[in-house]
Amino acid sequence: MTEFKGRPPTPSDRPPDDLKKERDAFIQQFFRKGAQFTEELLKENERLRDHILDIEAENRKLRAHLASDEAIRDLLRKIEELEHEKLALLNRSVRAEAVQDNFSSQYLEVEGELANFANLYVATSQLHTARSVRGVLRALKELLAQLLGAAAFAVYLVSDDGTELVSVTSEGVEASDVARLPVMQGVIGRAFAGGEVTSRVERDLTHASIEDPVAVIPLHIDGRTIGAIAIFGTLPQKTEFVHIDRELFKLLGAQAAPALVNARLFTDAGRKVPGLQAFLDLED
């Protein structure tokens, strides 16, 4: 078999110049496109990197915002807890104030009662420590003025024949106007006969009137009515009779007459204390 050997190339085997130019142009265009594509890829990559950086920055902001929101939520929860605590403290404070107000009210009430008892004690003491009729009447006038606010009044005792009420002392009125009153007549006579205290409730207490006294206090001793205290008007600041005033009415009605009688008897005895035998020979 005969080996075929090619012949050496001849100039006619080289590509034509136009084809070479076209090939070179294609290659240049290909590499230019590749370079352009590569440049675009690099730019896109750069843009993506910038975008990634922006996203990371945004993520950092979001994380910071979330952390801030969490802090705000924690703060709001703390504020809510403090509000609840404040309300609880306010409720406790209100209850404490109520207890304190109740205690203060009770304290003032007790203090007022003690003051009232003190007034009653002073009234009884002053009446029974006087050793003369004049002293008893002076103490009685001071009690009427200071404790009851009486500005015009008279103290009556019944006459021996029981037909008149005779004034033994007075204040704020003409003595002649209140010297004698018929028993069983007028407001004073009816209160004396009935043996019950009478007093105004709604009318003006400061208005002085002998015919229409603001209070009449019958005086009792050993179950009998022997006189009366008539209050015709009070001081300007005394506009009404209150509970303690009515208690003083009762005290004066029960204690003034015995004090007057005892002072009279003590004076009649020459202001001498009876001997022991007088206390041993007791009679009912």
- The least confident of 22-36, 142-156, 221-235 is 22-36
H, E, C per residue of the chain: CCCCCCCCCCHHHCCCHHHHHHHHHHHHHHHHHHHHHHHHHHHHHHHHHHHHHHHHHHHHHHHHHHHHHHHHHHHHHHHHHHHHHHHHHHHHHHHHHHHHHHHHHHHHHHHHHHHHHHHHHHHHHHHHHCCCHHHHHHHHHHHHHHCCCEEEEEEEEECCCCCEEEEEEEECCCHHHCCEEECCCHHHHHHHHHCCCEECCCCCCCCCCCCCCCEEEEEEECCEEEEEEEEEEECCCCCCCCHHHHHHHHHHHHHHHHHHHHHHHHHHCCCCCCCHHHHHCCCC
User: What average pLDDT does the segment 226-233 reach?
Assistant: 94
And the tokens for 235? 């001081």
Tokens 């003595």 appear where? 175
pLDDT in tens, 102-136: 767 766 666 666 666 677 777 778 888 888 999 99
Whole-number pLDDT of residue 134: 92
Whole-number pLDDT of residue 2: 45
What phi, psi does 169 have (nearest 5°)? -165, 155
| pLDDT at 165 exceeding the cut of 90 | yes
* Rg of the chain in Å (alpha carbons): 59
User: What average pLDDT does the segment 38-43 reach?
Assistant: 81
Query: Please, are residues 123 and 143 in contact by the beta-carbon 8 Å criterion?
Result: yes
- Give me the residue spans of the domains in the chain: 25-129, 132-269
| pLDDT at 86 exceeding the cut of 90 | no
User: What average pLDDT does the segment 138-152 reach?
Assistant: 91
What's CA 12's distance to the chain center, in Å? 128
| pLDDT at 7 exceeding the cut of 90 | no
CATH of domain 132-269: 3.30.450.40
pTM to 2 decimals? 0.61
Query: Please, are residues 251 and 127 in contact by the beta-carbon 8 Å criterion?
Result: no
Reported confidence tier of residue 81, pLDDT bands at 50, 70, 90: confident
Reported confidence tier of residue 3, pLDDT bands at 50, 70, 90: very low
Q: What's the angle, vertex CA 20, arms to CA 16 and CA 23, rounded to 5? A: 140
Whole-number pLDDT of residue 16: 62
Whole-number pLDDT of residue 35: 75
β-pair partners for 220: 225
Query: Please, are residues 140 and 252 in contact by the beta-carbon 8 Å criterion?
Result: yes
Q: Which residue has the higher pLDDT, 232 or 52?
A: 232
| pLDDT at 172 exceeding the cut of 60 | yes
| pLDDT at 26 exceeding the cut of 80 | no
